[in-house]
Amino acid sequence: MKNIVIAGGSSGVGRVLVDLFLEQGHSVWVIARSMRDLPQHSALRFIEADLSQTTVSAEHLPDTIHGLAYCPGSIQLMPFHRMKAEVFTQDFSLNVMGAIQLIQACITGMKKSGSAAVVLYSTVAVQTGMPFHASVAASKGAIEGLTRSLAAEYAANGIRFNAIAPSLTDTPLAEKLLNTPEKRENSNKRHPIGRIGTAQDIAALSAFLLNDSGSWITGQVLHADGGMGALKLLA
């Protein structure tokens, strides 16, 4: 049985991850602003926190930590000339500083496990330039650099760091981008594989990386994006 910490575990990808790890018989610590529809389960602990504004101390986390997924994110899309400094600051605070502070709180517990894994989340918009994505691409680009740096620094401690860079995924975070049949159809067509991603798609890959099945993978940014970042279809 493993101890898994999931930040943002009450919604989207994190919520699916919670169910996956509970089904596998692990203990799960969920950090989120609210419980929403989290199950009542003897192996689930809930920590209420907004990681863009507060930190979680190690004393509230398990003594030994085998896995950490940092799922909170933001999508603030607008023309660059309209982006005030506060937009960049908000995105960086949630996407980067929140992750850094939680990793620091977990690092001692992960060292104790002897074989731990961390999954962070980037975006296809880091590799593939997209209009109106300046803020999210800037903060998620930092996540990719952080992933590789920490993978190198903690390899000797048996701690693996990887990131997943999805394209548009059907989660509450993307609700405004998918709130009409026309928007959903257009988004599907933009992806070479013919559909947008699901929370299950990203959670399954996350679980693979956090489990022993991914034990030889570290320092990678995996592009689970329906081909968006690498393929160009003929017109």
Please check whether residue 159 is in contact with residue 131, taking contact to mean a CB–CB distance below 8 angstroms: no
Count the alpha carbons within 13 Å of 36 in the hemisphere toward its beta carbon.
Answer: 13
Q: Is 185 helix (H, G, I), strand (E, B) or coil?
A: helix
Whether 230 is covered by a domain: the verdict is: no
> Which residues make Cβ contacts (< 8 Å) with residue 22, sequence separation at least 6?
28, 39, 41, 43, 44
Sign of CA dihedral 177, 183, 184, 187: negative
Give domain status of residue 233, yes or no. Answer: no
Q: What is the number of domains present in the chain?
A: 1
| Domain membership flag for residue 235 | no
98 found inside a domain? yes
Specify if 190 maps to a domain: yes
The phi and psi torsions of 158 (rounded to 5 degrees) equal: 75, 20
- Between the CA of residue 221 and those of 9, 163, 209, what are the distances in Å? 21, 5, 11
CA distance readout (Å), 49 to 9, 120, 183: 11, 18, 33
Structural domain range at position 46 = 3-222
CATH of residue 110's domain is: 3.40.50.720
Per-residue pLDDT of 126-145, as tens digits, reads 999 999 999 999 999 999 99
- Quick: pLDDT tens for 59-112: 999 999 999 999 998 888 999 999 999 999 999 999 999 999 999 999 999 999
| pTM, 2 dp | 0.95
Residue 187 has pLDDT above 80, yes or no: yes
In a domain, 52, yes or no: yes
* Residue 102 within a domain: yes
pLDDT at 56: 95
Query: End-to-end distance of the chain based on CA atoms, in angstroms?
Result: 50
Q: Write down the mean pLDDT value for the chain.
A: 95
Domain contains 136: yes
Q: Write down the pLDDT at residue 235.
A: 66
